[in-house]
Amino acid sequence: MKPTVAAFPATRLRRLRRTPAIRALVQENTLTPADFIWPVFVREGEGIEEPIPSMPGVVRRSVDLIGQAAREAHALGIPAICLFPYTDPALKTEDCAEAWNPDNLSNRATRAIKEAVPDIAVMTDVALDPYNINGHDGFVEDGVIVNDRTVEALVKQALSQAEAGVDIIGPSDMMDGRIGALRSALEGAGHQDVLLLSYAAKYASGFYGPFRDAVGASGALKGDKSTYQMNPANTDEALRLIERDLQEGADMIMVKPGMPYLDICRRAKEVFAAPTFAYQVSGEYAMLQAAAQNGWLDGEKVMLESLMAFKRAGCDGILTYFAPAAAEILGG
């Protein structure tokens, strides 16, 4: 039923915008630090905070400083950190065995966070690209990214992460059948409480470039990822992928990238009513930061406006590199 509005001047919609107090009373969506997952890059070494040139304000931290980052996030009210490793190129191989090494960067960082702040949730990435000499999310055979053999490796990677103490596993690989395989393996190994936040609708986007710099995958990538990541022209396909992943045991779903795909976020939430997240990816972050640093945009205003857009589109939470800065403003 379409709502009716009395004719002017009985209705003056500007009455609802007259003062900050009135605007606050009628605001439809709210944004808080509890809406954020903070992506953090981890590297080898000690005492290192290494700036990432294509992502102003973002650094790679050595494992010994990850606990400090977790304490910062917890103090700001951010409930979760998502870890991404910058793997030594010497450890990148055809068989990607470093992905399930119990002492790889991701697993050591997970244990460091849980020791420093037991209450914060740790999320990890499941995909082979940080460990793959070819830079792809899956194994490459004769130029083809193969599915089923990759899924077997992803299961080993996820079990290694679960043993390290993660709370949320984020499969970002886009292989078919991986959610069912991961859920079955986690249940069988006694990790029934580990959540799966599936990157169910991950597009073959041009917005990932700075992230690939951050994890050292840019130079390694041979070809593109269009045979497994989604065509940016498609929306109905996204719904089929989300439905499949939920049926296979995903607890939450992710749309990636974020701002160019708010329509997908809205459709997913309306159709499935499942916990829905979006990833405000590196390219989105970088372009806003670059414009703000050049004085072309009000950086603080567009940061908060962009984050609110995700809530307005129906998202329950956002992975964003703006998390600490936004949380400081919102909590202050």
Q: Which residues are catalytic?
A: 202, 256
Tokens 């040139």 belong to residue: 53
The DSSP-derived string for 34-95 is GGEEEEEEEESSSS-EEE-TTSTT-EEEEGGGHHHHHHHHHHHT--EEEEEE---GGG-BSS
Retrieve residue 221's tokens.
């990538």
What whole-number distance in Å separates Cα of residue 115 and Cα of residue 66?
A: 10
Give the DSSP letter of residue 277: E
The DSSP-derived string for 102-169 is TTSHHHHHHHHHHHH-TTSEEEEEE-STTTBTT--SS-EETTEE-SHHHHHHHHHHHHHHHHHT-SEE
Residue 178 CA, chain-centre distance (Å), reads 18
What whole-number distance in Å separates Cα of residue 138 and Cα of residue 128?
A: 6
